[in-house]
């Protein structure tokens, strides 16, 4: 799946079939459903799951908690807008799922 297709699917009622849980959480975040995105992200025991969890807490404005999850993901809080970070996460996770 290409990032453009992923973004276009945000008009659908459900996330695309066959995507990872991390991408599903990002999909809900992209639709503005923070609660559903967080419910999914908090149960993903991977670095990508921690990255999504960090992004969600950054979006929420809880920087301390976001930094905790960025650390768990092996990342630092980026100097990007939330929209730019979401885009970069989608690109990275879609690229990784193709390999």
25, 57, 73 from 61: Cα distances, Å:
18, 6, 18
What is the arithmetic mean of pLDDT over 94-99? 75
H or E element in which residue 82 lies: helix 82-98
What is the arithmetic mean of pLDDT over 74-83? 96
Q: What local confidence, expressed as pLDDT, does residue 13 receive?
A: 95
Q: Where are the domains of the chain?
A: 21-98
Q: Is the pTM of this model over 0.75?
A: yes
Going along 1-95, which residue ranges are E strands? Answer: none
Q: How far apart are CA 88 and CA 72, in angstroms?
A: 18
Q: What local confidence, expressed as pLDDT, does residue 15 receive?
A: 97
What is the arithmetic mean of pLDDT over 15-41? 97
Helix/strand/coil percent split, the chain, to 5: 70, 0, 30
State percent of the chain over pLDDT 70: 98
């Amino acid at each position: 799946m290409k990032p453009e297709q992923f973004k276009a699917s945000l008009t659908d009622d459900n996330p695309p079939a066959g995507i990872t849980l991390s991408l599903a959480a990002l999909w809900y975040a992209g639709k503005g459903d923070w609660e559903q995105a967080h419910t999914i992200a908090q149960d993903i025991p991977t670095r990508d799951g921690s990255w999504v969890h960090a992004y969600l807490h950054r979006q929420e404005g809880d920087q301390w908690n976001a930094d905790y999850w960025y650390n768990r993901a092996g990342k630092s809080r980026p100097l990007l807008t939330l929209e730019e970070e979401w885009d970069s996460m989608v690109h990275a996770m879609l690229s990784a799922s193709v390999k």
